Amino acid sequence: KNEVEQSPQNLTAQEGEFITINCSYSVGISALHWLQQHPGGGIVSLFMLSSGKKKHGRLIATINIQEKHSSLHITASHPRDSAVYICAGSLGGSQGNLIFGKGTKLSVKP
């Protein structure tokens, strides 16, 4: 069964802290997406990874294909980073279809 598991479910941090959100996925998933959803807002794609590491500003995403594991890191966290972060896997044979994790609700306190 194709699955994506995310942890933690909820995360509270102080401003400035380094944050890590983890995602494990099953065989059959060929690429991993990290998405961001602000309260009351739409969903924005942050990264799409099939190997290695990507960086955008204070956000870093890594993927380990052998271990089927991906992480999203936020350096120097800020209250505006407060959002739900969702990882989603693309199925190898059907690139459009996504399998979603349940999301991690991040709250960064000033």
Q: Let me know: does 100 contact 88? Beta carbons within 8 Å.
A: yes
Rounded Cα distance, 86 and 100, in Å: 7
Name which of 38, 59, 58 is nearest 103 in CA terms: 38
48 binds another protein (CB under 8 A): yes
56 vs 110, beta carbon nearer another protein: 56
Q: Does 100 bind another protein (CB under 8 A)?
A: yes
Stretch that binds another protein, among 16-24, 57-65, 67-75, 85-93 (CB under 8 A): 85-93
Residues 71 and 60: their CA atoms lie apart, in Å, by 8
Would you tell me which residues interact with another protein (CB under 8 A)?
30-31, 33, 35, 41-45, 48, 50, 86, 88, 90, 95-98, 100-103
